[in-house]
Structure 1
Amino acid sequence: MESEQVILALAALAQSTRLEVFRLLVKHEPAGLPAGEIGRTLAVPQNTMSSHLAILTRAGLVSSARRSRSIVYRADLARFQSLALFLLQDCCGSRPEVCAPLVANLTPCCPTE
């Protein structure tokens, strides 16, 4: 992932409504949610929600697909994983014990099979 892409994604998430939208969409993976339902759930007007979703889409954090008369949005978990890995890539500095607490904190919520 390039630095400019990371900056765009972090800037998109640096706003409270957009962060809430992304977290909501993560909870509804893989089905996603229609735009109207996202707005109703978060009590955000349609035109405002549309702007937030456009910013998240440009940042590559969400994708959309038309289903009948609705536009369904989904979190792009692969893109988010790339973002997290970019941020953590140099975390260890060739010292795995530095990242061990982070890995331990992620393990309960994300067990490996």
Structure 2
Amino acid sequence: MDTESALSMLAALAHPTRLEAFRLLVRNEPDGLATGALVDASQLSQSTFSSHLAILAKAGLVQSRKQGRQQIQRADIDALRALLVYLARDCCEGRTELCAPLLAELTCC
């Protein structure tokens, strides 16, 4: 991952509505959620939420697929993984024992 991609993803997540929508999609992997369910959860209008969804998609964090008459949204877990690795790769100057608490939190729950 390059810096520009990381900044795009971080900027997309730097809004409460988008962050909560992305977290909701991550919790619903691998099935994803219908766009309507995301709109309902956000309590925003369809058009307002669509703008937020488009920003997440443009940043590469959300993928959409058609299923019957519905659009199903899914978190791109590979993109999330790449962002987390990018942020933590040089953690503690390579002294992995200092990153152990972070890794423990990620694996505990």
Asked whether the equivalents of residues 64 and 74 of structure 2 are also in contact (C-alpha less than 8 Å), the reply is yes
Paired with 1:46 and 1:8, the residues of 2 have a C-alpha distance of 23
Q: Secondary structure at the match of 1:73?
A: strand
Partner of 1:69: 69
Asked whether the equivalents of residues 42 and 49 of structure 2 are also in contact (C-alpha less than 8 Å), the reply is no
Letter in 1 for 2:98: V
Paired with 2:58 and 2:94, the residues of 1 have a C-alpha distance of 34
Asked whether the equivalents of residues 91 and 99 of structure 2 are also in contact (C-alpha less than 8 Å), the reply is yes
Q: Superposition RMSD on alpha carbons, in Å?
A: 0.9
TM-score calculated relative to the size of structure 1: 0.92
Q: 1:97 offset after TM fit, Å?
A: 1.7
Asked whether the equivalents of residues 62 and 74 of structure 2 are also in contact (C-alpha less than 8 Å), the reply is yes
Paired with 1:87 and 1:59, the residues of 2 have a C-alpha distance of 16
Number of equivalences: 109
What aligned pairs does 1:30-41 form with structure 2 within 5 A after superposition? 30-41=30-41
Q: Secondary structure at the match of 2:91?
A: coil
Q: Which runs of 4+ in 1 moved over 3 A?
A: none
TM-score calculated relative to the size of structure 2: 0.95
Partner of 1:13: 13
**Bigger shift: residues 100-109 or 13-22:** 100-109
Paired with 1:61 and 1:33, the residues of 2 have a C-alpha distance of 14
Structure 2: state its 5+ residue gaps.
none
Structure 1: state its 5+ residue gaps.
none
Asked whether the equivalents of residues 9 and 56 of structure 2 are also in contact (C-alpha less than 8 Å), the reply is yes
Q: 1:104 offset after TM fit, Å?
A: 1.7
Using the aligned pairs only, state the percent identity. 50
Paired with 1:30 and 1:66, the residues of 2 have a C-alpha distance of 15
Partner of 2:57: 57
Q: Secondary structure at the match of 1:86?
A: helix
